Amino acid sequence: MSTLKEIILQHITWRRQILLLAKADIIKTYSGAALGWAWAIIKPVITISVFWFAFTYGIRSGHSVNGFPFAMWMIPGFMAWFYMNAMLTKGTTAIRNYRFLVTKMKFPVSTIPTFFSLSNLAIHLCLMVIVCLIFIATGNFPNLYWLQIFVYIFLMALFWTSWALFASMLGCMSKDFVNLIKSLSTAVFWLSGIMWDVNTVASDTIRHILYFNPVTFITTGYRNCFIYHIWFWEQPLQLGIYLGMLVVMIILAVWSYRKLIKEIPDVL
Amino acid sequence: MDNNREVVVELKNVVKKYKLYKNDKKRFLSIFMKKIPYKEMRAVDDVSFQIRRGEAVALFGRNGAGKSTILKMITGVTFPTSGEIFVNGRVSALLELTSGFDPELTGRENIYLKGQLIGLLDKEIAEIENDIVEFAEIGEYIDQPIRAYSSGMKARLGFAVNVNIHPEILIVDEALSVGDKAFREKCLKKVRHIIENDGVTLLFVTHSTGTAKEFCNRGIVMKKGKMTYDGDIDHAIELYEK
């Protein structure tokens, strides 16, 4: 408990620096490239286009879901996946990549995953603006359900920032862990209901197991905003499981921080 | 030295042990299992001393004597296994040559980042920015990413930043032995200046006893993690060179 308090206090004290480092992280990723910022958007757009093509003319041959073309159905969840995938894989090396902050100066290590997450979140917000524009352009105007997006973004960021703290602490200790998570990324993608609807799985057991995947909750939730128009409290089981997973993740993050904080400067 | 001045650095029975595992896999497993065998290395063994404001102390010892570990612990980047460390004041540390730069950002961006990280406002950084660029003598390169710098340039910029951000405690680990002779002289002059005028406390690791003698009147000698002498600089040099 005192470790959690310490982590929160560090975030409050260093809030200005956290924002600055998040900004620097974005600049760093895209500066030096001729198209700069555009790359943050280009990669997702290409991925989405390819999937849209495959699923409109290929695999699903243009079936619509709830009155929406499959591509439109898929886009919101996919956008969330871009953020979550970055956090899942690159999150493991967040501290490793900023080792100069750990070994060369006094800096609160617990805030490194946070500014890494914020920098990814900024890009995610840009993408979400594009999503909203796509929906508006196709005649689906904003309604009250869209407001839930902020709830989902908050819940998503909280989970994945905790994950990044947990995973990047372990990632400092072992490259095996980093590689393990990277190779799991594809599995997580296909088990997360990004390309298909988890709620239509016939077997109760399997469906309930899938609810324990935090990616599922967010992608399904985004769809509830744009496509199905369901409030987040209307599915208490899914919400409850997600909140439970969130608590577990925070506990794991605090545990790994407390366990490893004194060792990390010596191994990096 | 005036014993009435406040203590700015204090080490109390500080011990630092490193755990050496057979490989990274064993180290990773040790997070979850307690029974993984490891060897223990005592880098610093029961060291205690006090440093008062305005003192300039040289730390002598052969490679592996624990000097750098002590400096790192005072800087706050690594933690003692047991014992206590008190530090009172803004520490500016030149640990190794490329002290805390982000290789992907430009020199100028790094000056700002570093300044912001230690809590300076943009306005305050702008005031010292020119001094830093001028002192580092890297000219046009200031707007290039640090990864394009030569090691000498990195070291010069590192030194320039650390002495210009108004440190209260300056920790220098071998860094004064970088660059050509002219730049070294310039660094020494600058260090002398801030010690005399700003009351900066200096903690200095070097193998060059001549330089140490010039700055410091107190020397600490380390041998295999233990402190073997703490006192007059001349005597310390004598012991170290023996």
- Give the pLDDT confidence of A18-50 residue by residue, as tens digits: 888 888 888 877 766 666 677 777 877 887 788
Q: Residue A254 has what pLDDT?
A: 94
Tally of structural domains, chain A? 1
Could you tell me the pLDDT band of residue A158, with boundaries at 50, 70 and 90?
Answer: very high
Q: Residue A246 has what pLDDT?
A: 93
pLDDT of A74 strictly over 90: no
Tell me if B116 and A266 make a contact (CB, 8 A cut-off): no
Q: Is A173 on the interface with B (CB under 8 A)?
A: yes
Q: Residue B52 has what pLDDT?
A: 84
ipTM of the complex in this document: 0.74
Closest CA to B46 of B14, B85, B18: B14
The string of pLDDT tens digits covering residues B171-184 is 877 655 666 777 77
Q: Residue A121 has what pLDDT?
A: 92
When CB atoms are compared, the residue of A17, A100, A259 closest to B116 is A17
CB contacts of A24 in chain B (<8 Å) are 102, 105, 109, 113
Spatial contact of B90 and B167, defined as CB atoms under 8 Å apart: yes
Window from A54-68, A124-138, A162-176 with minimum mean pLDDT: A54-68
- All structural domains of chain B, each given as residue ranges with its CATH number in brackets, are 7-241 (3.40.50.300)
**Angle formed at CA A110 by CA A151 and CA A79, multiple of 5 degrees:** 35
Q: Give dist(CA B203, CA B200) in Å, integer.
A: 10
- Measured in degrees and rounded to the nearest 5, phi and psi for residue B45 equal -125, 100
Work out the percent of chain B whose per-residue pLDDT is above 90. 0
pLDDT of A159 strictly over 90: yes
CA distance A116 to chain B (A): 14
Indicate the pairing of strand B226-232 with strand B218-223.
antiparallel
Beta strands in chain B (DSSP E): 7-20, 39-52, 56-61, 82-87, 91-94, 169-173, 201-205, 218-223, 226-232
A62 or A95, greater pLDDT: A95
What Å distances lie between residue A10 and A5, A18, A146, B41, B115, CA to CA?
9, 10, 33, 31, 18
Q: Residue B176 has what pLDDT?
A: 59
Q: Residue B175 has what pLDDT?
A: 57
Mean pLDDT of A50-70: 71
pLDDT of A59 strictly over 80: no
Q: Is A20 on the interface with B (CB under 8 A)?
A: yes
CB contacts of B72 in chain A (<8 Å) are 265
Record the tokens describing residue B52, joined without a space: 């008062």
Residue pairs between chains A and B whose CB atoms are closer than 8 Å: 77
Question: Residues of chain B whose pLDDT is less than 50?
Answer: 1
The helix (run of H) or strand (run of E) holding residue A65 is strand A64-65
Work out the percent of chain A whose per-residue pLDDT is above 90. 22
Q: Residue A40 has what pLDDT?
A: 74
Tell me if B109 and A102 make a contact (CB, 8 A cut-off): no
Q: Residue A117 has what pLDDT?
A: 93
pTM of the model: 0.83
DSSP state of A35: T
Q: Is B96 on the interface with A (CB under 8 A)?
A: yes
Q: Give dist(CA B173, CA A120) in Å, integer.
A: 36
CB contacts of A21 in chain B (<8 Å) are 113
The string of pLDDT tens digits covering residues A96-105 is 888 888 887 7
Range of the domain at A21: 2-267
Tell me if A104 and B77 make a contact (CB, 8 A cut-off): yes
CA distance A101 to chain B (A): 6
| DSSP state letters, B180-213 | -HHHHHHHHHHHHHHHHHH--EEEEE-S-HHHHH
When CB atoms are compared, the residue of A173, A262, A265 closest to B28 is A173
| Beta bridge partner(s), residue B220 | B59, B230
Q: Give dist(CA A205, CA A216) in Å, integer.
A: 15
Tell me if A105 and B77 make a contact (CB, 8 A cut-off): yes
- Measured in degrees and rounded to the nearest 5, phi and psi for residue A59 equal -50, -50
Tell me if B109 and A265 make a contact (CB, 8 A cut-off): no
Q: Residue B99 has what pLDDT?
A: 61
Q: Residue A35 has what pLDDT?
A: 65
CB contacts of A6 in chain B (<8 Å) are none
Tell me if B31 and A173 make a contact (CB, 8 A cut-off): yes
CB contacts of B24 in chain A (<8 Å) are 173-176
When CB atoms are compared, the residue of A20, A176, A259 closest to B28 is A176
Residues 195-254 of A with CB under 8 A from B: none
pLDDT of A196 strictly over 70: yes
